[in-house]
């Protein structure tokens, strides 16, 4: 996730910005940049790669002891990591610069209209439109121009803006992307996208809320409402977190933070692609014409680990709603079997990191055989995205915990969008159904957000009861069968408990022999078409003295009677249950691993990105 740092005050700005950016490195980034004012002009340095490159560059530079500036670490979303795409971005004159976190959804339209007015663009980013849009509104006051410009913007932003003609101030603004301001009694104001950047300098902070803007000067800080321009009284808060706590936004582990970030990650993945009114999906990044899409005879999904589980869910969705045959392969198997692929097949490699060696090898084979390759990936510019014909990016932000959580639910979101899109292009989903499914997805983030704290609490007694178990069985059916696999994988990778996921109907074909009091069985039982079947499977476990945890629909009182523990979830559109039902399983694994004293974020023997075969 990108990082912003800004400072105006009595101290030298360059070391403050570089130190602040260093403290945001944990968020993940792929390029960095800085801007400061010297002799009435803005001076900007940017480079691809690690912050160390920028620091090295700055060692040779005479910054004139500048006291005002901005810095940024970019995690690419529009345009690959490069110097040209790194922030800060300038307007045509070079007198105005912007650093930005978030996504400008209508940047295509804005860019076209600004280009028509004569603005010259030098990057592929969405951010650059902000610099030109503010320039377009600029008369003699920067704050006013920013306020006017952002009214035309759709999407999310945290902004830092600077103009050489008002050299005493920085402008900060936010909408759906965090921004925190820091103050010092003896003068000096800071802005940052996250608290760790401020901690070496001040613990006195002001949190900007959505649709607020601030004017930061050496000796004053004023906050305004972006929409009506009215001043807003803000409370200064004192932060007592240490640096480690601050990086994790107060959460004990990155994994927990990332579990709680899922509503935002899901929202970011569908926002700008799904029309909330009609359910119509636009995915121009696929780069295939409607005619080509209609001519596709088969889809082949290729992935590893958690990403493979996302692929398994997508098979249910695509076959049901698009009526197209789908095959799903573990990438390490795909690459060593005879592949029957050709130009009428779409191969979809799914990878959070975009660097997984087996998935990449599968992609290359598919391309050699003439298939169309559309990847689903979270990391812009990664190898898999570079080698694909098109990429649907998940916008989960960097995932730091090794156990994949928000990347998984974002992959599911992207695959659900793809299902809608193909169903619409191939006319297999009627308009009314599109509306219904689209609406269900739009409602999901808020619903998950509401459930998360309660679910976390509910895991404590379950963890106390079963956290010392040696084995665990997870059962599911239909599109929730892969979620049982994912629940088991999550538990084994972070708590080192042996866990298996099974299609519930397979129980009596072998695993039922394992059932006794020491084998907890968790079953997913939403009120769907296979509900009664799974309940019968669960009864078979109960008859053999198995201990049972059921995850099902709120209001289904039978679950509490059958199970040792029943976890209730709200009733949503059945198709989206795989996303919702993942959440308690992630929380249960987290709770158990934490209780067992395991290294939750960096489990033994595992790597975040598996770049070897």
Residue ranges that bind ligand M6R, judged by CB under 6 A: 304-307, 351-353, 356, 359, 402-404, 493, 606, 609-610
For ligand M6R, the closer of residues 172 and 377 by Cβ is: 377
For ligand M6R, the closer of residues 177 and 351 by Cβ is: 351
For ligand M6R, the closer of residues 158 and 484 by Cβ is: 484
Q: Which two tokens stand for residue 487?
A: 């629940």
CA neighbours within 13 Å on the CB side: how many for 19? Answer: 12
Dihedral (CA of 336, 341, 342, 346) sign: negative
For ligand M6R, the closer of residues 264 and 404 by Cβ is: 404
SS3 212: strand
Rounded Cα distance between 239 and 21, Å, is 19
Q: Is 41 a catalytic residue?
A: no
Work out how close the CB of 265 gets to ligand M6R at its nearest, in angstroms, rounded to a whole number. 14
From 12, 184, 439, 608, active-site residue = 608
| Residue of closest CB approach to ligand M6R | 305
Work out how close the CB of 610 gets to ligand M6R at its nearest, in angstroms, rounded to a whole number. 5
Work out how close the CB of 336 gets to ligand M6R at its nearest, in angstroms, rounded to a whole number. 18
CA angle 374, 378, 380 (to 5 degrees): 80
Q: Within 210-329, where are the H helices?
A: 243-247, 254-260, 262-270, 290-294, 305-321
DSSP designation for 402: S
- For residues 242, 245, 249, 255, the Cα torsion angle rounded to the nearest 10 degrees is 170
For ligand M6R, the closer of residues 123 and 404 by Cβ is: 404
SS3 604: coil
For ligand M6R, the closer of residues 356 and 594 by Cβ is: 356
Count the Cβ atoms, other than its own, within 10 Å of residue 57: 14
Rounded Cα distance between 544 and 508, Å, is 12
Residue 528: phi, psi to the nearest 5?
-110, -165
Residue 583: phi, psi to the nearest 5?
-60, -50
For ligand M6R, the closer of residues 359 and 582 by Cβ is: 359
Nearest of 523, 582, 511, 513 to residue 547 by alpha carbon? 523
Work out how close the CB of 366 gets to ligand M6R at its nearest, in angstroms, rounded to a whole number. 15
DSSP designation for 88: P
Work out how close the CB of 477 gets to ligand M6R at its nearest, in angstroms, rounded to a whole number. 22
Work out how close the CB of 332 gets to ligand M6R at its nearest, in angstroms, rounded to a whole number. 11
My answer on whether omega of the bond before 88 falls inside 30° of 0, hence cis, is yes
Q: Is 12 a catalytic residue?
A: no
From 2, 377, 463, 598, active-site residue = 2
Work out how close the CB of 134 gets to ligand M6R at its nearest, in angstroms, rounded to a whole number. 37
Count the Cβ atoms, other than its own, within 10 Å of residue 25: 16
Catalytic residues: 2, 608
């Amino acid at each position: 996730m990108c990082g912003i740092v800004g400072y105006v005050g009595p101290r030298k700005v360059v070391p403050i910005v570089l130190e602040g950016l260093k403290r945001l490195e944990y968020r993940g980034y792929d390029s960095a940049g800085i801007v400061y004012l010297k002799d009435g002009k803005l001076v900007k340095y940017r480079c691809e790669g690690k912050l160390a490159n920028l620091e090295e560059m700055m060692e040779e530079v005479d910054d004139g002891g500048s006291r005002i500036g901005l810095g940024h670490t970019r995690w690419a979303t529009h345009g690959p990591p490069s110097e040209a795409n790194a922030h800060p971005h300038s307007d045509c004159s070079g007198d105005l610069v912007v650093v930005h976190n978030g996504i400008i959804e209508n940047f295509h339209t804005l860019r076209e209209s600004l280009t028509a007015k004569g603005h010259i663009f030098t990057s592929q980013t969405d951010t650059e439109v902000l610099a030109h849009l503010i320039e377009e509104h600029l008369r003699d006051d920067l704050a006013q121009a920013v306020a006017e410009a952002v009214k035309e913007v759709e999407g999310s932003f945290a902004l830092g803006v600077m103009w050489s003609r008002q050299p005493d101030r920085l402008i900060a603004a936010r909408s759906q992307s965090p921004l925190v301001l820091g103050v010092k009694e003896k003068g000096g104001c800071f802005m940052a996208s996250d608290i760790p950047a401020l901690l070496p300098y001040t613990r006195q902070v002001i949190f900007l809320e959505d649709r607020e803007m601030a004017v930061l000067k050496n000796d004053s800080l004023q906050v305004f409402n972006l929409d009506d321009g009215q001043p807003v009284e803000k409370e200064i808060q004192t932060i007592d977190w240490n640096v480690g706590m601050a990086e994790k936004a107060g959460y004990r582990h990155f994994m927990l933070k990332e579990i709680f970030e899922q509503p935002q990650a899901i929202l970011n993945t569908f926002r700008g692609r799904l029309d909330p009114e009609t359910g119509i999906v636009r995915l121009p990044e696929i780069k295939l014409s409607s005619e080509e899409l209609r001519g596709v005879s088969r889809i082949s999904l290729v992935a590893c680990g958690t990403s493979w589980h996302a692929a398994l869910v997508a098979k249910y969705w695509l076959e049901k709603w698009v009526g197209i045959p789908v095959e799903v392969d573990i990438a390490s198997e795909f690459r060593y079997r005879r592949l029957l692929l050709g130009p009428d097949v779409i191969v979809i490699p799914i990878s959070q990191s975009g660097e997984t060696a087996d998935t990449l090898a599968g992609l290359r084979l598919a391309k050699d055989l003439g298939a169309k390759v559309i990847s689903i990936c979270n990391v812009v510019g990664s190898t898999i995205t570079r080698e694909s014909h098109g990429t649907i990016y998940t916008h989960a932000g960097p995932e730091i915990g090794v156990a994949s959580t928000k990347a998984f639910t974002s992959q599911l979101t992207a695959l659900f969008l793809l299902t809608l899109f193909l169903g619409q292009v191939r006319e297999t989903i009627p308009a009314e159904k599109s509306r219904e499914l689209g609406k269900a997805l739009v409602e999901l983030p808020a619903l998950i957000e509401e459930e998360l704290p309660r679910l976390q609490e509910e895991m404590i007694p379950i963890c106390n009861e079963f956290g010392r178990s040696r084995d665990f069985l997870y059962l599911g059916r239909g599109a929730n069968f892969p979620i049982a696999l994912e629940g088991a994988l999550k538990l084994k990778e972070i708590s080192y408990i042996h866990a298996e996921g099974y299609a519930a109907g397979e129980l009596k074909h072998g695993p039922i022999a394992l059932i006794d009091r020491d084998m907890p069985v968790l079953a997913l039982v939403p009120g769907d078409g296979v509900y009664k079947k799974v309940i019968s499977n669960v009864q078979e476990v109960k008859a053999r003295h198995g201990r049972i945890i059921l995850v099902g629909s709120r209001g289904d009182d039978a679950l509490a009677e059958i199970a040792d523990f029943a976890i209730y979830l709200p009733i949503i559109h059945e198709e989206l249950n795989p996303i919702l039902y993942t959440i308690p399983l992630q929380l249960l694994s987290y709770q158990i691993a934490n209780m067992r004293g395991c290294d939750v974020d960096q489990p033994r023997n595992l790597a975040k990105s598996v770049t070897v075969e």
